[in-house]
Amino acid sequence: MLSPREQIIENFGQYFENYKLPRILGRVYGLLLLTDQPYLGLDQIVTELKVSKASVSTVVRQLVGFMMIEKVTRPGDRRDYYQVSPKAALTYIQNSMRGALSFADLIEKAAKLEDLTPEARQKIERIEHLYEALAKVLGEFFAEFEKE
Amino acid sequence: MLSPREQIIENFGQYFENYKLPRILGRVYGLLLLTDQPYLGLDQIVTELKVSKASVSTVVRQLVGFMMIEKVTRPGDRRDYYQVSPKAALTYIQNSMRGALSFADLIEKAAKLEDLTPEARQKIERIEHLYEALAKVLGEFFAEFEKE
DNA sequence: CAGTTTGTTCAGTATTGACTAAACGTTACG
DNA sequence: CGTAACGTTTAGTCAATACTGAACAAACTG
């Protein structure tokens, strides 16, 4: 039986799995979010999540790449530690929104096709405008939040 | 070599593949978006995309489920036709935003954990507020657009 | 320099799931 | 009825990839 905390960590794993990321990646993120400690070392993550060091090593690199967590080092300590930074969450949301908006690029490319019938063109342009409006709203939202 | 149109259809396939959906699903959506015809039958899709009828059958069902396309039937014609409706695009965007926001549910559940240290709690609540604000902005955006 | 600690890389395994061909069920029509 | 047209379901194949154990590289320690 899983503790509530473990269950939620598991849920984080499942969530990210839906977005084509390794389940362990989500679990590591969840663990770092829920931990009492300011940051965790690789071996702590390994024992806590009962996964291989190899997995944590690769997954942690991805998370840093996505700017969802940060690496923390300490003088006189060779080990690497990891934490979710407050800014990380904002970056993550921005990334996922950017992902959704990248659909707009596709639509735009489609709208540039030459041999479209007027009906098809109209259909596509409506979608184009919808995404433009959404991009505008989201842009304003992030501009607002980044100020803080 | 692919024609520009075929290339874009392929790009739609790749896009949806990133979101853990079958590539053929994206290609069918792209085809329906770019077609000259008002709607296409199953066999037309099969020959156009060079895929099996079985694939198109299952994928089209999913697309209808996601409300990204609509089934069209005609009296005296047993065949099923499919089209992307103008509203479909809005629904699709709403769905993908909902997906992103479902992350907020996880955060919320995490915030409800009892044995959190104040630091951890603060970290989580900041993310919670961020998502609340985002949900609000998106809600207003969709309310605006649905009026039209 | 040996030995230890830390993290990465690599090969192998196992699972998942996209896609297909073929069989099937259903409805129309002569 | 028999046959044809249409769509769904199912069993099977193949490719992608998450995860692991083990070998490895690099950095510190006595």
Q: What is the pLDDT of residues B49-76, one digit of tens each?
A: 999 999 999 999 999 999 999 999 999 9
Per-residue pLDDT at B92? 85
Residue among B102, B115, B137 whose CB faces A137 most closely: B137
* B4 contact residues in A (CB cutoff 8 A): 113-114
Per-residue pLDDT at A129? 94
CB-contacted nucleotides of strand D (7 Å) = 5-11, 17-22, 27-28
B107 contacts: CB under 8 Å, gap ≥ 6 = B124, B127, B128, B131
C-alpha–C-alpha distance, residues B146 and A30, integer Å? 36
On the question of pLDDT at B118 being above 80, the answer is: yes
Confidence of residue A85 (pLDDT cuts 50, 70, 90): confident
Confidence of residue A92 (pLDDT cuts 50, 70, 90): confident
Confidence of residue B96 (pLDDT cuts 50, 70, 90): confident
Per-residue pLDDT at A22? 98
Within 10 angstroms of residue A143's Cβ, the number of other Cβ atoms is: 9
B18 contacts: CB under 8 Å, gap ≥ 6 = A20, A99
Secondary structure tally for chain A: helices H, strands E: 6, 3
End-to-end CA, chain B: 41
Q: What φ, ψ does residue A38 adopt, rounded to 5°?
A: -70, -35
* A100 contact residues in B (CB cutoff 8 A): 93, 96-97, 100
B103 CB within 8 Å of a chain A CB = yes
On the question of pLDDT at B93 being above 80, the answer is: yes
Task: Judge: A116–B34 Cβ closer than 8 Å, yes or no.
Answer: yes
Confidence of residue A99 (pLDDT cuts 50, 70, 90): confident
On the question of pLDDT at A90 being above 80, the answer is: yes
Residue with the bigger pLDDT between A58 and B87: it is: A58
The fraction of chain A above a pLDDT of 90, given in percent, is 82
Work out the average pLDDT over B140-144.
Answer: 93
Residue among B99, B110, B115 whose CB faces A33 most closely: B110
Q: At residue A116, what is the residue type?
A: L
pTM of the entire predicted model: 0.92
On the question of pLDDT at A147 being above 80, the answer is: no
Per-residue pLDDT at A55? 98
For residue A20, the SS3 value is: coil
How many pairs of residues across A and B have Cβ atoms under 8 Å apart?
A: 114
* B113 contact residues in A (CB cutoff 8 A): 4-5, 8, 34
Per-residue pLDDT at A136? 96
Q: At residue B10, what is the residue type?
A: E
Calculate the average pLDDT of chain B: 94
Per-residue pLDDT at A140? 96
Per-residue pLDDT at A86? 76
Work out the average pLDDT over A72-93.
Answer: 91
